[in-house]
Structure 1
Amino acid sequence: MTVKKLIFSPLLLLLLLAAGLTPAPARGAAVITLGPGELEEIFAAIIAKESVWPREELSISGFSAFPESVQVPAGILDYRLENRPEPSRPGRQSLQVTLLVNGREQERVRLSANLQRLGEVVVTARRINRGEVIGPDDLLVLRREVSMLDPSFIAEPGLAVGKQPRTTLQAGAIVYGNLLENPPLVRRGDRVNIVAGNGRILVSAPGEVRDTGAQGDLVRVRNLMSRQEIQARVVDSATVETTF
């Protein structure tokens, strides 16, 4: 069950007289039966309120309650948590809850369910070999459980397009940011323009790259005018920059 958008307040104030539930006779007083469905709604509301995850990313399954149903007087329902929940930890969650009606204690229930986090994940649409530049058509976006994934997983295709994997990715593989790198813009032997400055003066000279490097990488470059070798940062395939 995916957590629903709930119409009651964060404190779970339910006007049971208007809830449409079936009253049970109890010495002339109106009594409301809260069954598994209503108790699951209470569990979902508590988790949604306590979790740091966005509500639309929460998923609940395998709900159980002990007892399975309770009877309480008609009135305004609230609750008090008797244990400290960990609703942002995936897996089985158990809550000890005391139900209150019009501020008075009524019943204590144990509510349990499996908690998962759902989100968008970028996966490969085909096999992508190591060092191959990733294009827009090479990726798909799927919605799946992400609570157990390494946090470096990519949710936006634009973060992977134009990069290359450090290892071969099979079709359907989840794309992780730590497995991607920028493609090299310069390689050993490439001729580039060395731009050097100190904030006031800007000079340039022809150079020859001695390493392979991507945008932003520091590479060794030989100044063809002075014959000296320097460290410079790759700007693009034709330019490196340094300071003096």
Structure 2
Amino acid sequence: MLDRLAKVVIGRAPLPGRKLTVTRSLILSRLRSHKVNIKKFVFPGSDSTSIQRAALKISGNDIEQVVLNHIKETKGFSDLKPRLLAKIRDIFLPRGQVSYVISSKGNYKKEGGYRNYEVEFSVDGKAIRKVSVRTYLKIYKEVYVARNTIKRNHIIEESDLLKIRKNVDRMPREYVTDKEQLIGKISTRTITPSEAIQGNTLADPPLVKSGDRLQIVFETPFIRLSAPGISLAKGRKGERIPVKNADSKIVVFATVKTRNIVLVN
């Protein structure tokens, strides 16, 4: 008889922290389905019994706080304001040694904006539960914008710039926070007033202009030759431009080294 009773399943064990109510009628029904003579059983006490599985409660507030702390510690921004997009519910875990790992889900091109995180809880080294946390990261930085309209091919001066505190969480990462990266550069397009100046809208100005007189230099470890020349195009440092030998009138291509020196191979 005991062996037959051991095989009778009354119900599934509840999840950690949850309850299962077992009624007398449920027990009798399970016994009858296994051909057990229920007339031989007496059930003292109430008609139902509640069974609660022992568990460790992790509050939603605690989960929220560890994720927010993780964001602040890993992002490294001094002016960062993360916020949660949904309330996190309490969870219940089996008793034991609890540990957790927080990871960011997805790939993002911008520094801020929407971010999804996942908290994986383990008990005694075994992964038990994953909790998804949706957040929004608002980041503020002091960036440089155009004080007035900056026309194309304009050499940037300090008077063209204005530093403001700006929300950059949805901005492309090419914004600039160091004015030394801007002054002396040339704009490649028109920049409107109050527009954040991006690194990809600027270029180094040409060292050599068309018509400049310069020295055409050929050198090896053992010899150095030079001749006067005239540039036939503008060029930045490292660019190859056509130059004309002022004596022979021969046109060659040379690499810009300085404002008045170009190198030929």
Which bin holds the TM-score, normalised by the shorter protein? Answer: 0.5 to 0.7
2:237 partner letter: Q
Deviation at 1:190, TM superposition (A): 2.1
| 2:114 maps to 1:91 | yes
Structure 1 residue aligned with 2:22: none
| 2:212 maps to 1:203 | no
The alignment's TM-score, normalised by the length of structure 1, stands at 0.65
- Structure 1 segment 1-244 matched on structure 2, within 5 A: 36=61, 38-48=62-72, 51=74, 53-56=75-78, 58-67=80-89, 79-80=100-101, 84-86=103-105, 89=108, 90-96=113-119, 98=121, 111-237=133-259, 239-244=260-265
What per-residue deviation string (whole Å, max 9, x for no partner) do you get for residues 39-91 of structure 1? 43212123345x4x325364302453232x6899xxx985455xx53387440
Partner SS for 1:221: strand
Taking the aligned partners of 2:145 and 2:234, their CA distance within structure 1 comes to 28
Structure 1 residue aligned with 2:6: none
Distance 1:77 1:188, change over 3 A: same
Taking the aligned partners of 1:54 and 1:151, their CA distance within structure 2 comes to 16
More strand by share: 1
Deviation at 1:166, TM superposition (A): 1.0
Q: Using CA pairs under 8 Å that are at least 6 residues apart, name the structure with larger relative contact order, 1 or 2.
A: 1
Distance 1:212 1:88, change over 3 A: same
Does the 8 A contact of 1:215 with 1:236 survive in 2?
Answer: yes
What per-residue deviation string (whole Å, max 9, x for no partner) do you get for residues 140-181 of structure 1? 334434444333332321111101111110111122222212
Distance 1:57 1:77, change over 3 A: farther
Partner SS for 2:78: helix
Does the 8 A contact of 1:87 with 1:115 survive in 2?
Answer: no
**Identity percentage over the alignment?**
23
What per-residue deviation string (whole Å, max 9, x for no partner) do you get for residues 213-243 of structure 1? 2333221110111221111222333x12213
Instruction: List alignment gaps of at least 5 residues for structure 2.
Output: 1-55
Partner SS for 1:222: strand
Taking the aligned partners of 1:224 and 1:147, their CA distance within structure 2 comes to 55
Taking the aligned partners of 2:206 and 2:165, their CA distance within structure 1 comes to 32
Aligned residue pairs: how many?
Answer: 204
Over alpha carbons, which structure has the higher Rg? Answer: 2
Instruction: List alignment gaps of at least 5 residues for structure 1.
Output: 1-30
Taking the aligned partners of 2:129 and 2:239, their CA distance within structure 1 comes to 64
Does the 8 A contact of 1:232 with 1:240 survive in 2?
Answer: no
Range moving further from structure 2, 89-98 or 194-203: 89-98
Distance 1:33 1:214, change over 3 A: closer
Taking the aligned partners of 1:236 and 1:180, their CA distance within structure 2 comes to 20
Partner SS for 1:184: coil
2:105 partner letter: E
Range moving further from structure 2, 114-123 or 221-230: 114-123
Distance 1:182 1:94, change over 3 A: closer
Distance 1:85 1:236, change over 3 A: closer
